[in-house]
Amino acid sequence: MAVFSNLLVAIGVVFLSHAVYSAHEHSALHSTVSHASAPSVPSLPADIVAETLLSVLIVATGIVLSSAPLKPIQWSRWAGEAEREEARRRIGKGRKVDIAQGEVPGGNPFAWLTEDRIGFWDGRGKRKDFADWVREGGRS
């Protein structure tokens, strides 16, 4: 697949360079011929525009085909892989990973967003406690 994608990129670059050369040649020829009623900004012929778009599409296809496989976008799969990788790193350094005491293996950069945060202030619970306190008459 790497040969095919590199071939696509090479063909696309050749076509793109030809389209750029054709556009330059067209604008150079148009500027030397003086027309009294011609617009100051010449428009490119449709074949040059089509060649440019096609070559960019071919180059983009070749780059996409030659890229590395994408990472998983499912949160649970990604977090699991990150935590396993961190656990492997810690075990490799000789440090024991103690998950039984609640230690998360640290590979998850969004671990602070989970609801089991240590020291997390429960706003809803405090609001409910306050409403109960007000209903009771506001006495301690």
Where in the chain are the domains? 2-66, 75-135
Instruction: Give the residue, 131 or 118, on which the prediction is more confident.
Output: 131
With 0-12 / 13-18 / 19 or more C-beta atoms within 10 angstroms meaning exposed / middle / buried, residue 55 is buried
Q: What is the pLDDT of residues 17-26, one digit of tens each?
A: 999 999 999 9
Written as six digits, the tokens of 67 are 């890229």
Instruction: Give the rounded distance of the alpha carbon of 116 from its chain centre.
Output: 29
Q: What is the pTM of this model?
A: 0.49
How much is the CA Rg of the chain, to the nearest whole Å?
32
Helix residue ranges, H only, 33-74: 46-66
* pLDDT in the model for residue 46: 93
Angle among Cα 62, 68, 69 to the nearest 5 degrees reads: 110
Q: What is the mean pLDDT of the chain?
A: 78
* Distances, alpha carbon 60 to alpha carbons 9, 10, 34, 106, in Å: 8, 11, 39, 37
- Asked if pLDDT for residue 32 goes beyond 80, the answer is no
Angstrom distance (rounded) from CA 140 to CA 125? 18
